[in-house]
Amino acid sequence: MHHDVVILGGGLAGLTLALQLRRRMPDLDVLVLERRTHPLPEAAHKVGESSVEIQAHHLSQVLGLKDYLERRQLKKFGFRFFWSDGAPDITRVTELGASTFLPTQSYQLDRGMLENDLAQMVQAAGVQHRDGALVRDFTLGRKGERHQVRYTHGGEEHEATADWLVDASGRAGLIKRRLDLAQPNDHTAHAVWFRIDRRIDVADWTQDTEWLARCNPPNRWLSTNHLVGAGYWVWLIPLASGSHSVGIVADPALHPPETLNSFDKAMDWLQVHQPQLHADLDAKRDGLQDFAFFKRFSYGCKKVWSGSDRWALTGEAGLFLDPFYSPGGDFIAISNSFVTEMVEGDRAQAPVGMLAPMYERIYFSLYEAMLPIYTGQYPLFHSAEVMPLKVLWDYTFYWGVMCQLFFQNRLVDVQAMARLQDDLAWSHRINVAVQDFLRAWGAADGGARPRRMLDQAKLAWFAEMNRGLADRLDQAAFDARLQANLQLLHQLAEQLMDRALRQHPGLPAEALRAVMAQRPAAPAAQNLLFPNLSPA
Ligand SMILES: Cc1cc2nc3c(=O)[nH]c(=O)nc-3n(C[C@H](O)[C@H](O)[C@H](O)COP(=O)(O)OP(=O)(O)OC[C@H]3O[C@@H](n4cnc5c(N)ncnc54)[C@H](O)[C@@H]3O)c2cc1C
């Protein structure tokens, strides 16, 4: 059987790619081979449950799944952070989050439900989806030759040929292994996670009515709650099936994997670091659904596609950063969009062999721009002074630059990207300089974590930035938006630096100042930081 595209692996990346391809090219012949048999278990299936704005936009707008998401999955109440390490009472520590929903929506995804539903959707869209189909071997065709794939299905051997072969096999990395494309990075964090078959609601941990009333609606459980401390964070993610996902992500230098790699050990660790969560989970032990861990989950890739040889990697088969801000689904959205462009271009006889390396450079530049946000930054998670400002910075960078490129469909526009090259390179440089500066500031911070709410919804410029993601911009408006956001990054960096230097005059600020000087900006007319920070 010959197909235009064969996708190896029908997880999130493979299924959403199949859907995107068929939406763009309704006559495209697409085969998805997934080794697991459907229906998949709900809840205890995979991690990758918290979506952020790029993935949410991809699912809801590019793939047209908004109604589905509203009906079957959960509306996420943004990110929320508590500096609650060792704290007996979560209401007494610093909370960072929005008191009310910000306008641009994202979702909590039960991966089992989602993949079951997506499998039905791709079939309804005309994709041939084979579950219980194990890919055993393949031969990559070169320079336009057909690829060959051998797989077992229903106890029989099958063979298929394809013009395009896409590896969406996740960490199995079928093409990556074959071509020796694995590339480690310097980010060494590890993670353990498990699911509990009922809700975990931080509101159940207190009777404090003032604290409970801080959020409207009072549904903190719908957030991706981050319980943070030095060198680690714990995630709490609600799932539409009724379960709750819990994960511990840590820097091995501060929290070695051996101290966490079983449910009992993770519980002992939580008893010390997050006692209220421990008490809640202890009462729900009978509801444990699974337990898993990954050492060193972050990695890069030497090459993610070839236009002339017509193969591509997408999702975790390519690269993965870190779950702290849930970028996994974003990178799936981005690589799937590039692959769709290449397949479509190839059919239209466009010079995809030349286009592919440009797309690849853009894709890698996003990975490289995001990596410094995580690498070496876990030690500063202890700081309820520096970390909220890092989150503010990281979000401004994400919404102000990355999201603009994706929401406005500029990433696949190589001319636009070439035009923006200098601006984007500067945004990368200032991000690296700010991350270095934050790391030094975090090391100097004493770790006070006063009771307060740092409310993102009340920070008008920040909420407006979130709202503006949905705007449709022509070229002039897009250029103006990007320039304004770069100026905002400059101003924010300036205010962060001023505050830090007032507290710790000896912090090394030369590198940051040098990057800021490359692109002068007038000081901001307003205070960009939270108004209720402690006096500097
Ligand atoms: C600790 C952790 C937490 C994370 N949290 C988040 C988060 O909150 N938000 C987020 O966006 N991302 C998160 N991610 C990333 C997210 O998990 C991934 O981006 C996503 O699951 C990758 O999807 P995928 O389709 O590439 O891979 P997978 O979902 O793993 O799909 C690969 C598929 O290929 C199939 N397969 C493999 N080998 C074969 C074969 N030989 N034949 C046939 N089929 C095969 C597998 O069965 C599987 O279904 C997290 C990652 C980690 C490590």
Nearest atom (ligand 1) to Cα of 171? 30
Average pLDDT over residues 194-210: 98
Q: Measuring CA to CA, how many Å separate 350 from each of 55, 124, 344, 345, 347?
A: 28, 29, 9, 5, 7
CA dist 377 and 373 (Å) reads 7
Q: What is the pTM of this model?
A: 0.98
The alpha carbon of 420 and the centre of ligand 1 are apart by a number of angstroms equal to 32
Three-class SS of 352-420: HHHHHHHHHHHHHHHHHHHHHHHCCCHHHHHCCCHHHHHHHHHHHHHHHHHHHHHHCCCCCCHHHHHHC
- The pLDDT score that the predictor gives to residue 30 is 98
CA dist 275 and 266 (Å) reads 12
Residue 295 has pLDDT above 90, yes or no: yes
CA dist 505 and 202 (Å) reads 38
Asked if residue 173 has its Cβ within 6 Å of ligand 1, the reply is no
The alpha carbon of 255 and the centre of ligand 1 are apart by a number of angstroms equal to 25
Residue 344 has pLDDT above 90, yes or no: yes
Asked if residue 294 has its Cβ within 6 Å of ligand 1, the reply is yes
pLDDT digits (tens, 9 = 90+) for 78-110: 999 999 999 999 999 999 999 999 999 999 999
Going by CA atoms, what residue is nearest to atom 16 of ligand 1? Answer: 48
- Do the Cβ atoms of 352 and 342 come closer than 8 Å? yes
Residue 131 has pLDDT above 90, yes or no: yes
Reduced to 3 states, what is the DSSP secondary structure of residue 426? Answer: helix
Pocket test for ligand 1, best of 6, 16, 33, 35 (most atoms within 8 A of CB): 35
The alpha carbon of 171 and the centre of ligand 1 are apart by a number of angstroms equal to 7
Split at pLDDT 50, 70, 90, the class of 536 is confident
Pocket test for ligand 1, best of 8, 32, 47, 175 (most atoms within 8 A of CB): 47
Nearest atom (ligand 1) to Cα of 237? 8
The alpha carbon of 77 and the centre of ligand 1 are apart by a number of angstroms equal to 24
Average pLDDT over residues 281-295: 97
- The pLDDT score that the predictor gives to residue 49 is 98
Nearest atom (ligand 1) to Cα of 50? 8
> Is it true that the peptide bond before 450 is cis, omega within 30 degrees of 0?
no
Average pLDDT over residues 443-461: 96
Pocket test for ligand 1, best of 316, 321, 331, 406 (most atoms within 8 A of CB): 316
Average pLDDT over residues 231-256: 98
Asked if residue 318 has its Cβ within 6 Å of ligand 1, the reply is no
pLDDT digits (tens, 9 = 90+) for 316-340: 999 999 999 999 999 999 999 999 9
**Cα 433 from chain centroid (whole Å):** 22
Going by CA atoms, what residue is nearest to atom 20 of ligand 1? Answer: 48
Residue 17 has pLDDT above 90, yes or no: yes
Asked if residue 97 has its Cβ within 6 Å of ligand 1, the reply is no
Residue 250: closest CA among 293, 288, 203: 293
Average pLDDT over residues 117-127: 98
- Output the average pLDDT for the chain: 97
Pocket test for ligand 1, best of 6, 7, 12, 54 (most atoms within 8 A of CB): 12
- The pLDDT score that the predictor gives to residue 346 is 97
CA dist 63 and 12 (Å) reads 13
Determine the residue type at 385.
Answer: E
**Cα 201 from chain centroid (whole Å):** 23
Average pLDDT over residues 265-272: 98
Which residue(s) pair with 31 in the sheet? 6, 128
Nearest atom (ligand 1) to Cα of 297? 53
Max Cα-Cα span within the chain: 71
Residue 530 has pLDDT above 90, yes or no: yes
The alpha carbon of 403 and the centre of ligand 1 are apart by a number of angstroms equal to 22
